[in-house]
Chains A and B, each alone.
Chain A
Amino acid sequence: MSVKTAAPAPAQAPAAPRRFRFNLRQSGIYVAFALIVVLFTVITDGALLEPQNISNIIVQNSYILILAVGMILVIIAGHIDLSAGSVVAVTGALCAVLTVQSGLPWFVAVLITLAAGALIGAWQGYWVAYFGIPAFIVTLAGMLVFRALTLSVLGNQGIGPFPQEIRTLSNGFVSGYFGNVGLGPLGGADLLSLLVGLGVVAGVVVTQWKARAGRIGYGQAVDPMWVFVLKVAGAGLVVMAVVVQLARFRNLPWVLVLLAVLVLGYSLVANRTVFGRRIYAVGGNLQAATLSGVNVKSVTFWIFVNMGVLGALAGVVFAGRLNQAGPTAGFNFELDAIAAAFIGGAAVQGGVGKVVGAITGGLIMAVINNGMSLIGAQSEKVMLVKGLVLLAAVAYDVWTKRRSR
């Protein structure tokens, strides 16, 4: 046969700027989110984007979004967690017992609750990772067990009220330390919130710019400058719009600050740490990961521990919001969190997904929920629409995957 092919490939010229291709599979979720927001803004005559309503959407869905952050990691690793709702209930109950009945200081109670969440996660992680029982079964059992524990702790009644600090975390707002500024026709807005918003936008711009410069430095293809500017400006505009609206209402909700920290932190963990990479490796090809020296069992175990901690955090936030730990708390939360992850682009087989995607998926459901209740739709209709949206999102994903083959 020809030996001409043998010559080593000549060193290629530095990669040319990548021709801009709109990757609908990756961006589809954000486009869909934008369309849904526009749709409900029109249907509700703009009520959706009223300052107070935006604040409500965030506060009312914060616990689902917290769960979604943990759930996406579980799903990327190729597992599932059906127990999240029951974990929310049992940790909320524990926190109530510690604060209301035992009178512990709020931060001690919260720390103990989070530790209990870690223990719950370790329990489930042990059975999945080291004993080899499918997560579906382990967490289905957990769903029953932790609900049962909740009921035996609380009996048939709720425990409350919670200390002010925990209620503030769930329901409260960052107080306006710097006073208000006038925004012309928009009226007064909280200066601190606006400054935080500007800071976040500046941070996004700087990190994106650095990442781009780094890639160019290593000769990698990047988006052309106009696409880059458009993307960053678009993201900045959306953040600022939300912040301005919130600043006009009652400043930033504390729970939004918490969520922002979680999203940022977990995005970094998922993309930039060895542990995060291994989650993708395990979910993408278990055998290849094993043969590459990944300790698959330990990765699986810690993902569940993490899920337990976030479940406990959601439990505290939810109980604080209701100002009561109740026996039915967290019913079906796991389903919302799972739906958020899949709408946000996770793959059923594992190996694919983004923290930001899961949050966006959660927000899509939140906006549908909120928008439909604003126009007075009955809850069965909301459920119907949410179910169909979930099916459509995954069908779209399967379809684009098949087409790309």
Chain B
Amino acid sequence: MALSDDILVMRGITKRFGAVTALHDVTFAVRRGEIHAVCGENGAGKSTLMKVLSGVHPHGSYEGGIFFDGEECRFSSVRDSERRGVVIIHQELALCAQLSIAENLFLGNEQATRGFIDWNRTNHAAAELLARVGLRENPTTPIADLGVGKQQLVEIAKALSKEVSLLILDEPTAALNDDDSAHLLDLLRELRDQGITCVIISHKLNEVMDIADRITVIRDGRTVGTMDVADATEDRIISGMVGRDLEHRFPPRTPHIGDEVLRIEDWTVHSPVQPDRVVVSGASLTLRRGEIVGLAGLMGAGRTELAMSVFGRSYGVRISGRIVKDGREIVLKTVRDAIRHGIAYVSEDRKRYGLNLIEDIKRNISAAALPRLASRGWVREGEEFAVAEKYRRSLGIKAPDVLTPTSALSGGNQQKVVLAKWMQTDPDVLILDEPTRGVDVGAKYEIYTIVNELAERGKAVLVISSELPELLGLCDRVYALSAGRVTGEVSREEATQERLMQHMTKGMNR
């Protein structure tokens, strides 16, 4: 292809975070006036690549070169890249909810004369931009009064105000309903026809097939390849996204599966931010003693929301459905109820939701089971020590003693502390949300071993993970979740990454 056709070429991009290489010699080219989709699993490096491009990761923090309109660019900040007409719209919208549409559109680019804002000019220019994106709203309306779909359009209008020539959208339809998604995709086509090049990151393969001209697949921080949409099929994209083999990364295990211990029926949860939006829709699952069950789903599929809403309604509003434990229906209104009924939830974000980083290992391990370690409200400190020490040894928490603050531990050891905290509550059911996120390979193996031992002791374990190989290597059964619905249940024997990915992308945007 002729170089002049390419508005953007990223060549040999390598980006490291400490010892982790997030991008590995990635090459990525976008033609002028096309819509170019980037696909890949969670953590494949899509967002990192876009952050390199837009100057979030400044020049010098990565290797390789960025050529825009044939010129090498060295963006040191987002402002730099925006000046060249490269604008990125992140998944989390960057709007000030209390300010008006017009104020948001010109935030940092205020329409002022001698330091005083010219409100007439501001609102007039804002109205023109809104017309371009087809949003019929008064420019003085506060952002908080708009739905997410309309907010997304305001973001695009804001990009247009910066004279954008390359627009990057990170998962733009993840939080939108079908109508809003369709409207947004139509708008992108219009913008393309006006000569604006778009890069769109999306998990929704049918959407990608629908709108993109070309598709680049990224896996494990490397480019797998770029194809024209005419040559692409969903299957081809999926095999590109997941195509890696399972190594011997999982400890051996012989499952001993017993009776059903927990059944969730017709579970429906609404978003607390937008009570009209269904986040989990009629989901049903069963867990049995001694069984490790996986829960697969792409970002935004509702995995964490499902788990947390079951765990004492820690997430969501207008929750409906039944939870049956050991054959009896139970109602879990609070986390205490859930703990009392033998359910434990290990969060995906251990620093925010799992640990008190100020405190030591001992006090973190005893935190959830403290009443059991106390008589009449007084903590039995000797026993507390003994319990913490037991876990430090049996789980191999690498710390000089249990009085070490948890902030001083590595990710893997922090995760073991959180696991110990929940093991101490003696649960029948453990829900592990991304148990190996941010954990190095050696510690991953140790955590898998712990999970296996828990199952061996007759616990039911539900593992939520974005890493399909992890689910395949660990679980006896895997449920796939897509757009809040359980779209498939695959046994260990039948499970392949392709098959799971098909279930995980089923029914999206339809």
Contact = CB atoms under 8 A, between A and B. Distances in A.
A, B in one complex = yes
Interface in A265-279: 272-275, 277-278
Contacts of A145: none
B314 A221 contact: no
B353 A5 contact: no
B445 A3 contact: yes
A284 B407 CA distance: 12
B249 interface: yes
A214 interface: yes
A2 to B, nearest CB: 7
A295 B314 CA distance: 13
Given A6-B446, A291-B345, A277 B363 contact: yes
Interface string B328-368: 00000011101100000101000011111111000100111
A9 B314 contact: no
Interface string B393-420: 1101010111100000000000000000
Contacts of B386: 218
Interface in B370-405: 370-371, 374, 377-379, 381-382, 385-386, 389, 393-394, 396, 398, 400-403
Contact of B402 (A8, A220, A277): A220
Interface residues on A, range: 35 or more
A12 B398 CA distance: 10
Interface in A200-223: 214-215, 217-221
A280 B445 contact: no
B446 A287 contact: no
A289 interface: yes
A18 B382 CA distance: 19
A333 B358 CA distance: 29
B368 A292 contact: yes
A285 interface: yes
Contact of B374 (A12, A274, A289, A294): A274
A15 interface: yes
Interface in A1-23: 1-3, 5-6, 8-9, 11-12, 15, 18
Given A218-B382, A293-B339, A273 B377 contact: yes
Contacts, number: 125
A326 interface: no
B446 A15 contact: no
A5 B445 CA distance: 8
B441 interface: yes
Nearest to B381: A272
Contacts of A274: 370-371, 374, 377-379
A293 B368 contact: yes
A359 B428 CA distance: 45
A277 B379 CA distance: 9
A184 to B, nearest CB: 43
B438 interface: no
A352 interface: yes
Contacts of A18: 400-401
A101 interface: no
Contact of B358 (A9, A219, A351): A351
Interface string B141-183: 0000000000000000000000000000000000000000000
B251 interface: yes
B136 interface: no
Contacts of A293: 312, 334-336, 338-339, 368
Contacts of A215: 385
B249 A273 contact: no
A128 to B, nearest CB: 20
Nearest to A1: B441
A350 to B, nearest CB: 9
A280 B363 contact: yes
B251 A6 contact: yes
A39 B291 CA distance: 68
A288 B368 CA distance: 10
A1 B448 CA distance: 15
B398 A220 contact: no
Nearest to A19: B400
B335 A351 contact: no
A281 interface: yes
B247 interface: yes
A214 to B, nearest CB: 5
B358 A352 contact: yes
Interface string B294-324: 0000000000000000011010000000000
B421 interface: yes
A220 B381 CA distance: 12
A8 B442 CA distance: 11
A290 interface: yes
Contact of A217 (B357, B374, B382): B382
A288 B353 CA distance: 4
Given A221-B401, A273-B374, A285-B355, 20 more contacts: A5-B441, A6-B446, A9-B398, A219-B389, A220-B385, A220-B401, A273-B377, A273-B379, A275-B377, A277-B367, A277-B370, A280-B363, A281-B359, A288-B355, A288-B367, A289-B356, A291-B345, A291-B347, A292-B368, A351-B358
Ranked 8 nearest A-B pairs via Cβ: A5-B442, A9-B396, A284-B356, A292-B368, A218-B385, A1-B441, A6-B445, A293-B335
26 contacts: A1-B249, A2-B442, A3-B249, A3-B445, A6-B449, A8-B449, A9-B393, A9-B396, A215-B385, A218-B385, A218-B386, A221-B400, A274-B370, A274-B379, A277-B366, A280-B363, A281-B367, A284-B358, A285-B358, A288-B353, A288-B356, A288-B367, A290-B314, A291-B345, A292-B368, A295-B334
